[in-house]
Structure 1
Amino acid sequence: MTLRWGILGASNFARAFMGPAIHAARQSALVALATSSAKKAIGFSAFCPDLRVHSDYDALLSDPDIDAVYIPLPNTLHVDWTLKALDAGKHVLCEKPIAMAASDIDRLIAKRDETGLLAAEAYMIVHHPQWLRAREMLRDGAIGRLAHVEGTFTYNNPDAANIRNKAEMGGGGIADIGVYTYGATRWMTGQEPEAITHADLTYENGVDVVARVSARFPGFTAQWMNSTRMHPMQQMTFIGDAGAIRLTAPFNANVYGEARVELHQPDLGLRVERFPAANHYILQVEAFSRSVRDGEPFGWPLEQARGTQAMIDAIHTHAKGV
């Protein structure tokens, strides 16, 4: 069975990454796009010449030849259009964050269960072999007892017109990239934070542009730096009492740099494993297709997305001193 996909909205990210990934993924086919902009549609037709273009989102959801939709709309629209797509009988892969509050994900879980369709957040890193290998190492005790996690994800985007800098569209650094550092910590360790111990947020025009956050988990501590006003940097490090695991290019593999897992061992020993060819966007689409077709558990269910959003909610609450 080939899963037939439609995309709601002609975003730059969908054109550059997810559209080509859907087109290239095994047992998936990109067949339709919804956009009112003929100019934007040209960018998709360049790699998918037979693409059917709908002028509005509802028309795409009414298309009987579409099995699943990918939603790259502004953050504040994710919940409503995911619900509409599920009601239209479509499976849904929605960009992160799939909601702006954890309680809204409860509505998505309920609708998913009611319809029996797959709805998930596009958290692609959990499908990358770099992350799968790092988690295997951690669980196998390669660094002994985990004591601390350090995460950094920054880039510089001061463009006031960009949706990431617009509060009314759900912008802000935490929603855009904090979701990676926090969620990756939860996914790697299988633990939820006991407490947010520090949350120092800097705002511009109603959106957070710098977030210095610390938390306490069962058995270890964590600290993350996220910013949309700094030089691009990204890394995740898991430090134990017998070694450390460091991931390079953990969030934009082959764009920011080569995806590697470094195992730092006693006496300055170092083992490096490289993953130069993996495309986590394609792997994510293929995993989604297998889940729909074969019932294989999806690597990032809505319950995982809810856990990260609950953490984000707690960070904002802590920062406001509520």
Structure 2
Amino acid sequence: MADHLRWGILGAAKFAREFMGPAIHAARRGELVALATSSPEKAAPFAAFAPGLRVHDSYDAFLADPEIDAVYIPLPNHLHVEWTDKALKAGKHVLCEKPMALAAGEIDGLIAARDTAGKLAAEAYMIVHHPQWHKARALLAEGAIGTLRMVDAGFSFFNDDGGNIRNKPETGGGGIRDIGVYIYGCTRFVTGEEPEEIVSARVDWENGVDTFASIAARFPSFDYAGYVSTRLSPYQEVTFHGTDGVMKLTTPFNARVFGEARLEVRRGMEVVTHRWPQADHYVLQVEAFNASALDGDDYPCPLEFSRGTQRMIDMVFAKAG
């Protein structure tokens, strides 16, 4: 049995260069060995931290490389399903950026392709690998804030660059797909519940993409209010309100970039704060993927979980009309 995965990256995206490429290189039991790009200039920064990197000038040649075990896909949203399917059929494990698909039904086909290939395929939903989210789930389960009644979540940043893929409808852009996946998925992860109904959805559109979306939803045992925007000052926070206390994550999604990861539990006048100043959820994500692919360990974010978050996104779009 292999003791490590040989990784390749399908496309020289900025995010892959700055975050996921270094994380793959740093993670235990993994090695970055290949990149697909036709641009030597884009390949150079990857080769700087991954000496000996093989560079393929076509995606098909990259997938045909027998020395690649696992593929990370940072392509624009509308290409995720197509290239995840192709990578699985080429016999590779696949970690694909979120959102995994543009509709929940598309993930059913990827689940079937995963099972047929006998490989691991997953969405790069890195936050569920961060210890703050495991702590939040454990605290809620043990009754640290009593009975949960309300969840509030917000995530925003400002990006009005018309040339950016996040602002292009043809590439699956918009705030809901880019960051709604975080505020919806984290709630499902911590509570283990699925939304019953989107009660209301106000969505602002600009050139065919959503730039602000505020929703109210009903889960089986609690209510939910959340918003995302790509036209507001940077902000992120998630709060769980219970009968006996309040649990708040102040840097829930971009730990160490937006600020220190902290989880605060307030019960009356008492506040207990948990901190994780060094945890790198990108490295933890790759290490969990390596362990699952190599040893068969359970993966914290299987495609079935991603399908549930995409279903909620679909429900929001349907309610907004």
Secondary structure of the structure 1 residue equivalent to 2:198: strand
**Does residue 153 of structure 1 match 2:155?**
yes
Secondary structure of the structure 2 residue equivalent to 1:260: strand
Alignment of 1:18-37 (within 5 A): 18-37=20-39
Alignment of 1:138-287 (within 5 A): 138-266=140-268, 268-287=269-288
The CA RMSD over aligned residues, in Å, is 0.6
Cα separation, 1, equivalents of 2:47 and 2:116: 35
Amino acid at match of 1:43: P
1:318 aligned partner: 319
Amino acid at match of 1:292: A
Cα separation, 2, equivalents of 1:247 and 1:46: 35
Cα separation, 2, equivalents of 1:228 and 1:26: 35
Secondary structure of the structure 2 residue equivalent to 1:148: strand
1:49 Cα deviation after fit: 2.2
Cα separation, 2, equivalents of 1:298 and 1:6: 20
Secondary structure of the structure 2 residue equivalent to 1:138: helix
Secondary structure of the structure 1 residue equivalent to 2:160: coil
Amino acid at match of 2:126: M
Secondary structure of the structure 1 residue equivalent to 2:146: coil
Alignment of 1:48-59 (within 5 A): 48-59=50-61
1:288 aligned partner: 289
Normalised TM-score (structure 1): 0.98
1:65 aligned partner: 67
- Stretches of structure 1 lacking an aligned partner (at least 5 in a row): none
1:91 aligned partner: 93
Alignment of 1:297-308 (within 5 A): 297-308=298-309
The size of the alignment, in residue pairs, is 319
1:37 Cα deviation after fit: 1.1
1:309 aligned partner: 310
Cα separation, 2, equivalents of 1:145 and 1:310: 26
**Does residue 44 of structure 1 match 2:43?**
no
Secondary structure of the structure 1 residue equivalent to 2:278: coil
Normalised TM-score (structure 2): 0.99
Cα separation, 2, equivalents of 1:54 and 1:161: 26
Cα deviation 1:168-190 (Å, max 9, x = unaligned): 00000000000000000011100
**Does residue 101 of structure 1 match 2:103?**
yes
Percent identity of equivalent pairs: 61
Amino acid at match of 2:274: E
Secondary structure of the structure 1 residue equivalent to 2:49: coil
Cα deviation 1:212-256 (Å, max 9, x = unaligned): 011000110000010000000001110100001101111000000
Cα separation, 1, equivalents of 2:137 and 2:191: 8
Cα separation, 1, equivalents of 2:163 and 2:133: 34
**Does residue 13 of structure 1 match 2:46?**
no
Cα separation, 2, equivalents of 1:230 and 1:125: 22
Cα separation, 2, equivalents of 1:144 and 1:39: 55
1:50 Cα deviation after fit: 1.5
1:78 aligned partner: 80
Cα separation, 1, equivalents of 2:211 and 2:49: 35
1:128 aligned partner: 130
Amino acid at match of 1:236: V
Secondary structure of the structure 1 residue equivalent to 2:38: coil
Cα deviation 1:72-108 (Å, max 9, x = unaligned): 0000000000000000000000000010000000000
Cα separation, 2, equivalents of 1:256 and 1:50: 33
Secondary structure of the structure 1 residue equivalent to 2:218: strand
Secondary structure of the structure 2 residue equivalent to 1:226: strand
Moved over 2 A (4+): none
- Stretches of structure 2 lacking an aligned partner (at least 5 in a row): none
Cα separation, 2, equivalents of 1:237 and 1:57: 42
